[in-house]
Structure 1
Amino acid sequence: MTEISASAASGAGAVSSGRAAPRGGAAEGSVEEIREGETAAGGPATAPVDERLPLGKLFVFGLQHVLVMAAAPIASVFMMAKALGFAPDLTINLLSATFILCGLGTLLQSLGPRGVGARLPFVMLPGGAPIVLFILIAQQTDLQTAAGAVLLTGAAYFVFLPLFRCCLRFFPALVVGTMLLLVSINLIKVSGLLITGSPGTPGFAQPLNIVLAFATILFTVLFSRLLTGLWRQLSILLGLVAGTFVAFALGAVHSAPIPLWPLVSVPSFLPFGVPKFDVVAALPLIIFSVISMVEATGQTVAISETVGKEIDQKRDVPKTIRGDAVMSLLGGLFGTSLIVTSGENIGVVRATGVRSRFVTVCSGLILVVFGLLAPLTKVVSLVPEAVVGGTGVIVFAIVGVMGIDMLRRADLRNHANMYILAVALCVGLLPIVIPGMYSNFPPNVRMLLGNGVAMGAITAALLNYFFFHLGRKGATDAPADPH
């Protein structure tokens, strides 16, 4: 669950020089885009990303983001509980902590106080790969060591960040667009597994689940086509609700009575006891922190272009990474794995055209309330996975479209650009389409090579350096963009 986007526009060359250019073309009902610092009608203008919508709109748009991403924290906690044999009380405690931390992280990234957080409409989630690594560390050592590994990794972000910041010029539009396309394919696969279940498990590819997923997609498309204004912008949320109603009518919603007690669930501090710090045991998660920085770069460029905000990569990408670091440190203190910025909501922003970061501020508040009120968390968990998967595949496919849109900036008739994209896609897609490809490699190597998104992005960045920087004195930017 991992968790990344961009749109085409003029000013493409700005990306390769470390600045993401704003763009227009938002969906109907969105506010006209005005750059920060400009004036309209003789007065100071409010950029769309900083627009404060009416409270009612903030709530429904914020809820839309929450419902699209809610499956990730629920699934991550249940996966940990099943693998590590947690008692029901501990599972509920960790579910509460995960929702609250996701909410606080979303607030941090959206508000961005004191250079921590991007001031962009991001949501934060427990990363899929970090959850698996947390489980493996706990199984090989103990839960205290796993919690300590999360804390060490949170600190590692701050250690690696200055060096990583110097490498950001090697991530032009061609590299970021490749990353977005790979992210989209990977997330579509994850959502597809919500629809079908894993191969070889009971109930795999049940026709009812597939029908529910396609019904959800159909409703979303119909609402987007037939509705206008605010209602069109809510087409993703309405499609998810309509799909849930269909599931309920067909008996696919397991509507057991929701216990109202305990009403409030407060997460425990250090639920596994005092952390143990073992750098060797933490190494897989520490390595992942570098991969996470690469992903955060693509996410920051993508969402900034989606909302029409010009950024400086060397200044603004580290803000996103600092937010990931702070929330991961908190995750280690409250029993979760790394809490990182997610690309899951970028497709929602692009599809709706609602670019205000205060929408995700509202999403963060909703997540905190969900975490504190145990019955609400259980209600959200009733939405069938097939319906969530149907919503996910269309949202994440939009992320892929945005990646393709960004790739159009690069002249793919150029010999170097063609090879950069082709090889990066090969390296990135192979572990996605052949999951066990690196199963016989050492664990740490397997973790790195098996992350198709990270490997594709790293390959593209290295080849971009090889073709456009290596041996060229004074070269500062890869001519990967035609402008």
Structure 2
Amino acid sequence: MLGLKRRTPEGERHPVDQMLPTGSLLVYGLQHVMSMYAGVVAVPLVVGEALGLSFADLATLLTAALLVSGLATLLQTLGVWKIGARLPLVQGASFAAVASMLAIGKGAGGGTYALQVIFGAVLVAGVVGFLLSGVFHRLLDLFPPVVTGSIITVIGISLLPVAVKWAGGGSDVEAPGFASPSSVGLAAFTLVVIIAIYRFLPTFFSRIAILLGLVVGTAAAAVFGMTDFSRIGEARWFAISTPFQFGPPVFDVAAIVSMTIVMLVIMTETTADILAVGEVVGRPADGRTVVGGLRADCLSTAASGGLLNSFSASAFAQNVGMVAITGVKSRFVVATGGLILVVLGLFPKIGAVVASIPQPVLGGAGIVLFATVAASGIRALSRVDYEGNNNLVIVAVSVGVGVIPIAVPTFYEHFPMWFQTVFDSGISSAAITAVLLNLLFTVGRSGRSGRRREAAIFAEGPTVGVTPSHDRPPQNVSS
């Protein structure tokens, strides 16, 4: 079951399958957790704050995210039957779904009922993804780099307003004291600390710069009396996230469509991560490995929404980088990190501490975190070939349509509710537009050379001189 019999030609166990000493497992596993902890807690923080959840509910959502991340990581690294890539991949809540979840939550009126609608959509999307896992490679043509790059860029852009509002002290821009000098100053201080860590400290610290920025920013806020830790005492020391803690899932068709689109994007990202980590550890991922990894992703997602009060799961790209930098290839190291996450998810007080972080501190960190997502999309688009085709049109129109609900949140308020749920999300708008345009310009439109012909209006525009990337897996970004 655990794949311990896979050996190198010399008969020795492959480094991926090597069991390290307990001390090494704990140290390296904790390092993986520290490098992705901020990304795990950021998703429930963003969603919970936007839905107006109570402090207790927000703390519960945070611990549930940690628990699910740990269980999903164990499933991915150790594997059960034909589920799991059995590679050193860390799983966590995906940023790709945040924008759509915020749109779904807004349409449902916020609060715990909105969570039920989100969980219902996550559950169905996970099941659909699981059923498609075996044939997903045939759908990858719908998500070439020009499509995924556009979507990832819009994901980052759509999240930035959340960070800006946090930096001002809350989501209500009309509230007295919003964007006061003290709030903006605290956000700026946190941002400067994170930048300083990236610039002056060793690489290991840059991997946890967001986490360290949150800690230092919160400490500074405490010094100036801008924190409130009084409610931490209300949280229990130990508790298990019980199924349907926020109520049973509610199934809304428009929400399901929106989240299923996101699930396809997440599966594309996970495929890229699996291929990348396979190259890093010297065990190139074959079709069976990719399918197993996608099944683990989707099963974890379905279980999150159906039972465990959390969101869609995805492989974390930053941990792939951690494997490459440290050279520690054992999947049991990452599995140990999964166990640490499970333990953290069983202690609500930890979630309560995170929920107590002042919003301006979150804003300073969020500007870096969310803008990095957009920058990753731009980096992916920089590798796209724009010569002799209509890729520039696809990028321009899909990003433009995706920005509409970000720039004017009420733009579609006179449309039917199902339409609003799908198109109030910048990522859904961009994804649908990019996929349809890609099909429009690809199917039956090839010239003699087999390359897509570019419209005259763009024929003399500047060309990005990069190598075509149609045969490479899409570039990935995870939270």
Under a length normalisation based on structure 1, what TM-score does the superposition of the two structures give? 0.72
Q: Distance in 2 between matches of 1:112 and 1:225?
A: 39
Q: Distance in 2 between matches of 1:476 and 1:313?
A: 29
**Aligned with residue 257 of structure 2, among 287, 291, 315:** 287
Q: Distance in 2 between matches of 1:433 and 1:320?
A: 37
Equivalent residue, structure 1, for 2:303: 330
Q: Distance in 2 between matches of 1:230 and 1:139?
A: 39
Q: Distance in 2 between matches of 1:69 and 1:144?
A: 18
Equivalent residue, structure 1, for 2:464: none
Equivalent residue, structure 1, for 2:33: 62
Under a length normalisation based on structure 2, what TM-score does the superposition of the two structures give? 0.72
Residues 104 and 368, structure 1, Cα contact 8 Å, conserved in 2: yes
Name whichever of 389-398 and 73-82 sits farther off: 73-82
- Relative distance call for 1:102 and 1:322 in structure 2 (3 A) is same
Equivalent residue, structure 2, for 1:481: 469
Equivalent residue, structure 2, for 1:105: 72
Per-residue CA deviations over 1:414-471 (Å, capped at 9, x if unaligned) read 4512212211221222222222222211111222222222332332233223223325
AA aligned opposite 1:294? L
Per-residue CA deviations over 1:270-321 (Å, capped at 9, x if unaligned) read 4477x58x8xx53133213421223214532564587584877976765565
- Relative distance call for 1:265 and 1:131 in structure 2 (3 A) is farther
Q: For 1:251-270, what aligned pairs fall within 5 Å after superposition? A: 251-256=225-230, 258-259=232-233, 262-270=236-244
AA aligned opposite 1:429? V
**Aligned with residue 161 of structure 2, among 157, 175, 189:** 189
- Relative distance call for 1:475 and 1:315 in structure 2 (3 A) is farther
- Relative distance call for 1:44 and 1:389 in structure 2 (3 A) is farther
Residues 469 and 475, structure 1, Cα contact 8 Å, conserved in 2: no
**Aligned with residue 466 of structure 1, among 414, 436, 440:** 440
- Relative distance call for 1:427 and 1:72 in structure 2 (3 A) is same
The alignment covers a number of residue pairs equal to 435
Once the two structures are TM-superposed, the CA of residue 252 in structure 1 deviates from its matched residue by 1.5
Q: Distance in 2 between matches of 1:360 and 1:212?
A: 35
Q: For 1:328-407, what aligned pairs fall within 5 Å after superposition? A: 328-334=301-307, 336=309, 339-341=311-313, 346=317, 354=325, 361=335, 364-407=338-381
Residues 388 and 451, structure 2, Cα contact 8 Å, conserved in 1: no
Q: For 1:212-227, what aligned pairs fall within 5 Å after superposition? A: 212-227=186-201
Per-residue CA deviations over 1:4-34 (Å, capped at 9, x if unaligned) read xxxxxxxxxxxxxxxxxxxxxxxxxxxxxxx
**Aligned with residue 140 of structure 2, among 168, 172, 191:** 168
**Aligned with residue 177 of structure 1, among 149, 155, 166:** 149
Once the two structures are TM-superposed, the CA of residue 70 in structure 1 deviates from its matched residue by 1.5
- Relative distance call for 1:168 and 1:300 in structure 2 (3 A) is same
Question: SS of the residue aligned with 1:372?
Answer: coil
Q: Distance in 2 between matches of 1:194 and 1:352?
A: 33
Q: Distance in 1 between matches of 2:127 and 2:267?
A: 19
Question: SS of the residue aligned with 1:440?
Answer: coil
- Relative distance call for 1:462 and 1:312 in structure 2 (3 A) is farther
Name whichever of 411-420 and 464-473 sits farther off: 464-473
AA aligned opposite 1:191? A
Per-residue CA deviations over 1:336-386 (Å, capped at 9, x if unaligned) read 36x21358x546876997587777655543442233112222222222222
Question: SS of the residue aligned with 1:458?
Answer: helix
User: Structure 1 vs Structure 2: percent identity of aligned residues?
Assistant: 28
Residues 48 and 61, structure 2, Cα contact 8 Å, conserved in 1: yes
Structure 2 stretches lacking a partner, 5+ long = 1-6, 453-466, 472-479
Question: SS of the residue aligned with 2:345?
Answer: helix
Structure 1 stretches lacking a partner, 5+ long = 1-36
AA aligned opposite 2:395? L
